[in-house]
Amino acid sequence: MKKTLLLFIAVITVIGSRADEGMWIPMLIGKNYDEMQRLGLKLTKQDLYDINHSSMKDAILQFGGGCTAEMISDKGLLLTNHHCGYDAIATLSTVDRNLLDNGFWAHNMQEELPAQGVTALFLQRMEDVTDQVKAAIGDATGEEFTKKFEAIRKQIEEKEADKGKYVANVKDYFNGNQFFLLIYKKYTDVRLVGNPPRSLGKFGGDTDNWMWPRHTADFSMFRIYADSNNQPKPYSATNVPYHPRKFLPVSIKGEHEGDYAMIFGYPGRTNRYEVSYGVDLAINVVNPSIVTCRDLRLAIMRRHMDANKATYLQLTSSYSRIANYWKYFIGQTEQLKRLNIVDKKRKSEDKFTAWEQTNNMPADLMEKFSRIYLDYAPYAKHSVYYGECFRASAVARMAGVLKPLYSAYERNDSAKTEMNADTLKKYITAAQTAYRANLKEFDLATEKEMLAKMTELYHQNVPADQLPGIYEQVILKAKNKNDKTGYTGSSYSEYADYVFAHTFITDSNKFNEFCKAPTFEQLKNDVAVQYAMSFINNYTKNYQPKVEAFSVKKTDLAREYVHEIMEQKKDKLMYPDANSTMRISYGKVLSYEPQDGVHYNYFTTIDGLMAKYKPGSDEFDVPNDLIQLYKNKDFGRYADEDGTLHTDFITNNDITGGNSGSPVINANGELIGAAFDGNWEAMSGDIAFDKKYKRTIVCDARYILFLIDKMGHADNLIKEMDVRE
Neighbours of 53 (CB within 10 A): 10
Among 132, 342, 273, residue whose Cα is nearest residue 563: 273
**Do the Cβ atoms of 412 and 418 come closer than 8 Å?**
yes
Give the per-residue pLDDT at 479. 53
- CA–CA separation, 551 and 544 (whole Å): 10
DSSP-based three-state secondary structure for 357: helix
**What are the backbone dihedrals phi and psi of residue 396, each rounded to the nearest 5 degrees, phi first?**
-65, -40
Enter the DSSP assignment of 229: T
Please determine, for residue 240, whether its predicted confidence score (pLDDT) is greater than 90.
yes
pLDDT in tens, 217-229: 999 999 999 999 9
What's the pLDDT score for residue 538? 98
Mean pLDDT over all residues of the chain?
Answer: 94
Cβ atoms of residues 643 and 686 within 8 Å: no
**Would you say the C-alpha torsion 196, 199, 204, 209 has a positive or negative sign?**
positive
Contact 247, 224 (CB under 8 A): no
* pLDDT over 80 (residue 476): yes
Chain centre distance of CA 392: 18
Does 83 qualify as catalytic in the annotation? yes
- List pLDDT tens digits, range 605-648: 999 999 999 999 999 999 999 999 999 999 999 999 999 999 99
- Where b means 16+ CB within 10 Å and e means fewer, 683-711 reads bbbbbbbbeebbbbbbbbbbbbbbbbbbb
Q: Is pLDDT above 50 for 192?
A: yes
- Assign 484 a pLDDT band (cuts: 50, 70, 90): low
Neighbours of 649 (CB within 10 A): 32
- What is the spatial distance between Cα 72 and Cα 87, in angstroms, rounded to a whole number? 22
Q: Do the Cβ atoms of 715 and 636 come closer than 8 Å?
A: no
Q: Pick from 348, 170, 277: which is nearest to 554 by CA?
A: 277
189-195 and 603-605 beta bridge pairing: unpaired
Coil/strand/helix, residue 123: strand
The CA distances from residue 625 to 194, 475, 607, in Å, are 17, 54, 15
pLDDT band at 702 (very low <50, low <70, confident <90, very high): very high
Query: Active site residue: 83, 215, 382, 646, which one?
Result: 83
349 backbone φψ class: left, alpha, beta (φ>0; ψ -120 to 50): alpha
Specify the 3-state DSSP secondary structure of 574.
coil
3-state SS of 382-432?
HHHHHHHCHHHCHHHHHHHCCHHHHHHHHHHHHHCCCCCHHHHHHHHHHHH
Q: Which domains does the chain have, with CATH numbers?
A: 3-248 (no CATH), 389-542 (no CATH), 583-724 (2.40.10)
Residue 660: active-site member: yes
Half-sphere exposure of 31 (CA within 13 A, CB side): 19
Does the pLDDT of residue 318 top 50, yes or no?
yes
pLDDT, tens digit, for every residue of 438-473? 998 899 999 999 999 999 999 999 999 999 999 999
Q: Which one is predicted more confidently, 573 or 434?
A: 434
Which whole number is the average pLDDT over 55-60? 98
pLDDT surpasses 60 at 7: no
Write phi, then psi, for 442 (nearest 5 degrees): -95, 115
Classify the phi-psi angles of 597: left when phi > 0, otherwise alpha if psi is within -120 to 50, otherwise beta.
left
Dist CA 523 CA 237 (whole Å) = 44
Q: pLDDT value at position 11?
A: 43
State residue 483's pLDDT score. 55
Full DSSP string of 483-550: -TT-----SHHHHHHHHHHT-STT-HHHHHHHHHS--HHHHHH-HHHHHHHHHHHHHHHHTHHHHHHH
CA distance 43 to 666: 10
Q: What confidence score (pLDDT) does residue 16 get?
A: 35
Tell me the C-alpha to C-alpha distance, in Å, between residue 240 and each of 185, 228, 236, 661: 17, 7, 9, 24
Please report the pLDDT score of residue 4 as a whole number. Answer: 43
CA distances from 423 to 104, 415, 418, 428, 505 (A): 47, 16, 11, 9, 22
Catalytic option among 20, 87, 128, 218: 218
Contact present, 697 and 94 (Cβ < 8 Å): no
| Rounded distance between C-alpha atoms, residue 199 and residue 683, angstroms | 25
Return the amino acid letter for 112: E
> How large is the average pLDDT for residues 560-567?
94
3-class state of residue 183 by DSSP: strand
Question: Which amino acid, 484?
Answer: K
- Please name the residues in contact with 480: beta carbons below 8 A apart, sequence gap of 6 or more: none
Counting beta carbons within 10 angstroms of the beta carbon of residue 127, is it exposed (0 to 12), middle (13 to 18) or buried (19 or more)?
middle
The torsion region of residue 316 among left (phi > 0), alpha (psi -120 to 50) and beta comes to alpha
Residue pLDDT, tens place only, 570-580: 877 578 999 99
Question: According to the model, what pLDDT value does residue 381 have?
Answer: 98
DSSP state of 269: B
Residue % of the chain over a pLDDT of 70: 96
Angle among Cα 46, 664, 274 to the nearest 5 degrees reads 90
Q: How confident is the model at residue 325 (pLDDT cuts 50, 70, 90)?
A: very high
Other CB atoms within a 10 A radius of the CB of residue 214 amount to 24
Helix, coil or strand: residue 693: coil
Give me the pLDDT at residue 487, please. Answer: 79
Please check whether residue 287 is in contact with residue 353, taking contact to mean a CB–CB distance below 8 angstroms.
no
Which residue type occupies 308? N
Q: Is 304 a residue of the active site?
A: no
Express each pLDDT in 87-131 by its tens digit.
999 999 999 999 999 999 999 999 999 999 999 999 999 999 999
Question: What pLDDT does 352 receive?
Answer: 95
For residues 336-343, give the mean pLDDT. Answer: 97
Alpha-carbon torsion angle 160, 163, 164, 169, nearest 10: 20
Question: Residue 503 and residue 496: Cα distance in Å, rounded?
Answer: 11
Within 13 Å and on the Cβ side, how many CA atoms surround 183?
A: 17
**Which pairing describes strands 250-251 and 723-724: parallel, antiparallel, or unpaired?**
parallel
Q: What pLDDT does residue 20 have?
A: 73
**For residues 515-526, average pLDDT:** 95
- pTM for the model: 0.93
Helix (H) / strand (E) containing 458: helix 444-461
In terms of pLDDT, which residue wins out, 19 or 619? 619
User: How many other C-beta atoms can be found within 10 angstroms of the C-beta atom of residue 122?
Assistant: 23
Q: Which of 534, 660, 662, 684 is catalytic?
A: 660
Does residue 8 have a pLDDT over 80? no
φ and ψ of 370, to 5 deg? -60, -45
**pLDDT at site 176:** 97
